[in-house]
Amino acid sequence: MFLTHEALTELTGLKKPKLQRAWLTRNGYRFDVRADGRPAVLVSQVEARQHVRVDSAAEPNWDALR
């Protein structure tokens, strides 16, 4: 399943496909380009990236307090 156009606009903060593609590239997202020029980003990729951020921040580094 791919992000909707609205979800992609929300993720990137941009409406134009060319600018969305540039943002996605700069931020390390993989995507395909549809025939109409819009980027196609898998929902699972976005979810996986969000999961990694949450997991890495979930447990404090207690050793840093010593």
- Calpha distance 32→39 (Å, rounded): 6
pLDDT score of 24: 97
Digits of tens for pLDDT over the chain (66 positions)?
Answer: 999 999 999 999 999 999 999 999 999 999 999 999 999 999 999 998 887 655 555 566 677 777
- Calpha distance 55→19 (Å, rounded): 30
Which residues are paired to 42 by β-bridges?
2
- Which pTM value belongs to this model? 0.74
Which residues are paired to 33 by β-bridges?
39
DSSP E strands, 1-66 = 32-33, 39-40
